[in-house]
Amino acid sequence: MTYRKKLIVVGGSAAGPKAAAKARRIDYHADIVILQKDPDLSMASCGYPYYVGGYFDDRNMLLCTPTGVTRDPLFYLNAKGIEARTSTEVTAIDRKNKSVSCTNLVTGKTETLAYDRLVIATGSVPKMPPIPGTNLDGVTTLQSMRDADFLRRVRDEGKIKKAVVIGGGLIGIETCEALQLAGIDITVIELLPQLLTFLDWELAKLVENHVRSKSANVITDNGIVEFLGKDGKLTGVKLQNGAELECELAVVAIGVVPNVRLAKGAGLKIGERGGIEVNEYMQTSDENIYAVGDCVESLNRITGKKVLAPYGDLANLQGRVAGENAAAGNSAVFPGTIQTGICKVFDFAAGSTGLSETVANKLDYRDIITVINASPDKPGFMEGKLLVTKLVADRKSGKVLGAQCVGPGNVSKQIAQWAMAIQGNLSVEDVINADLPYAPPFSLAIDHFIATAHIMQNKMKGRMKGLSVVQVKKKLENRETPFILDTRGPDEYEEMRLGIGEALIPLGALRKRLNELPEDKEREIICFCKISLRGYEAALVLEANGWKNVKVMEGGIMAWPYPREK
């Protein structure tokens, strides 16, 4: 009789079921059991904000296969031959005897199950601020199906009028949108100086401006010191600066920490970042135990350092690797992450991949170069929408280190392309002639992605001397007096302008009006337009006529995150 390998998976959200399903495809005869503490399985947790926001109404869609079949225990048993036990908590792992102890949370029955291979997929737990009032009715997170159900009831009942979201990260911003769509007066409170810390400040500020334009309030550089309440119910929050805000609901979204209680109890090695330490096979310090998802540390493929990367797509990829290896021996590898992510912000999107300038500087990358490109995702006659991309590269080698993109255009496509460029170890020179699909409904003839590389190439070769909007603003704050040249047309100027002392000379008239430029050919001149394409053309005209200190404000007015005159 053939021995049937015993595989136990602890955790039934994303990574665990993926590991179990892959193991079944590899080993038809193995005994595979999923032990899940929650009553649901395979929850699409990244979809919670959209269920709360009313993008769809059927709760089961968060639990379904692409063909609409609910992933419940019966589904796993019939379709995959996997025993999935819900409402079952694993309380301990006995590595010596290769067994787990578990308790049925409905009946109270305890049981010990033996394993040959074990996969830990215990996920993460939400952070809560160590302040008074966290137990008040009305203070919640958006981490579980229970949380999603609660916030959906809030939306449907329509009784709550004011809410705060604490934390301006991915979940915080998505929750802000969900509650605002429900007609709730919403305020986002972020302790740091910006929202979405995977972005550099100037792009994050564009996102903040967009959030404000949707009638949501944003408070940065300020945190919560207390949840205020009466009779056990939330009535408001107190901020670090002493201000108090009335609210009936507070959603805490300040991040998550790896759930490593079981792993610690079993004596498995925990990394410096607080996650379970695993190798490229997703194998822990015990050769018979694998770990996947939010509870583990991953290798950053760019820096070589371990990071926490609680992303749903990575959880599935890691689960696939662990399932294959648990079933058939270590043959599949997970090479690590470059921490690619994207967030919907009303009718905007914000995404990033690789290193931001801020992170690169913190990691002591000594010679990086950045550039910002603002341009549409497709032609105007196909209703092209704006994209603002910031590219980070190594100055010497030209290797792409990171990219960020925000705007109403197709941000996902841009970030996906840059992610593959980074994973392919490509340089800017490799990208400038990339052969991508083109047709007007989908792209410009030179896609925004390639155009960004072109601008970076021009900057690296010294053909364009670019300044970021932050650098321009600092010059003005330092009372420097560059000649600032707006090269747009008069109608554009009347419709929208910065009001920073700029002179208007349209590009088409520039060659005839050079006498209006500074006589001193060493005077710093900063050129711009709506997206600074005309600004770049103007800079070339000026340089050809003898001006020696001509700069271009990258991204133009569309990348300007500060208040404008008009």
For 180-205, b/e burial (b = at least 16 CB within 10 A) is bbbebbbbbbbbbebbbbbbbbbbbb
Quickly state the pLDDT bin for 329 (edges 50, 70, 90).
very high
Helix and strand tally (H, E) in the chain? Answer: 16, 30
pLDDT in tens, 427-451: 999 999 999 999 999 999 999 999 9
For 133-153, b/e burial (b = at least 16 CB within 10 A) is beebebbbbbbbbebbebbbe
- Residue 282: pLDDT over 80: yes
CB < 8 Å & 24+ apart, contacts of 285-289: 286/95, 288/95, 288/98, 288/115, 288/116, 288/117, 288/118, 289/93, 289/95, 289/117, 289/118, 289/119, 289/120
Strand partners, 244: 238
- Return the pLDDT at 442: 97
Please state, in angstroms and rounded to a whole number, the distance separating the CA atoms of residues 552 and 532: 7
Query: Where do the domains of the chain lie?
Result: 6-123+257-328, 139-254, 347-460, 466-559
For residue 303, the SS3 value is: coil
Tell me what the mean pLDDT of segment 233-243 comes to: 97
Contact 139, 133 (CB under 8 A): yes
Percent of the chain residues past pLDDT 70, beyond the cut: 100
Residues 6+ apart with CB under 8 A from 400: 354, 391, 392, 393, 418, 421, 422, 426, 427, 428, 431
Q: What is 6-123+257-328's CATH topology?
A: FAD/NAD(P)-binding domain (3.50.50)
pLDDT in tens, 290-305: 999 999 999 999 999 9
Hey, which CATH number is domain 139-254, 3.50.50.60, 1.20.58.1690, 3.40.50.300, 3.40.50.1000?
3.50.50.60
Q: Which of 173, 181, 406, 402 is nearest to 303 (CA)?
A: 402
- Return the pLDDT at 485: 98
Does the 466-559 domain belong in CATH 3.40.50.620? no
Tell me what the mean pLDDT of segment 11-33 comes to: 97
SS (H, E, C) 364-412: CCCCEEEEEEEEECCCHHHCCCEEEEEEEEECCCCEEEEEEEEECCCHH
pLDDT in tens, 198-216: 999 999 999 999 999 999 9
**Mean pLDDT score of the chain:** 97
| 139-254 matches 6-123+257-328 in CATH topology | yes
- Return the pLDDT at 1: 60
Tell me what the mean pLDDT of segment 34-49 comes to: 95
- Residue 98: pLDDT over 80: yes
- Residue 5: pLDDT over 90: yes
- Residue 332: pLDDT over 80: yes
Name which CATH class applies to 347-460: alpha beta
Taking phi first (over 0 means left), then psi (-120 to 50 degrees means alpha), and beta for anything else, what does residue 421 get? alpha
Please state, in angstroms and rounded to a whole number, the distance separating the CA atoms of residues 198 and 342: 10
pLDDT in tens, 52-81: 999 999 999 999 999 999 999 999 999 999
Tell me what the mean pLDDT of segment 298-321 comes to: 97
Please state, in angstroms and rounded to a whole number, the distance separating the CA atoms of residues 271 and 275: 6
Tell me what the mean pLDDT of segment 256-262 comes to: 97
pLDDT in tens, 458-494: 999 999 999 999 999 999 999 999 999 999 999 999 9
Quickly state the pLDDT bin for 366 (edges 50, 70, 90).
confident
For residue 34, the SS3 value is: strand
- Residue 2: pLDDT over 80: no
Strand partners, 450: none
Q: How many CA atoms lie within 13 A of 285 on its CB side?
A: 13
Tell me what the mean pLDDT of segment 227-254 comes to: 97
Taking phi first (over 0 means left), then psi (-120 to 50 degrees means alpha), and beta for anything else, what does residue 158 get? left
- Return the pLDDT at 520: 97
Enter the tokens of residue 357.
């300038």
Percent of the chain residues past pLDDT 90, beyond the cut: 99
- Return the pLDDT at 3: 86
Length of the chain: 566
User: How far is C-alpha 15 from the geometric centre of its chain's CA atoms?
Assistant: 19
Enter the tokens of residue 469.
């909007």
- Return the pLDDT at 94: 98
- Return the pLDDT at 140: 97
Q: Which amino acid is at 559?
A: A
How does DSSP classify residue 63? G
- Return the pLDDT at 435: 97
pTM of the model: 0.95
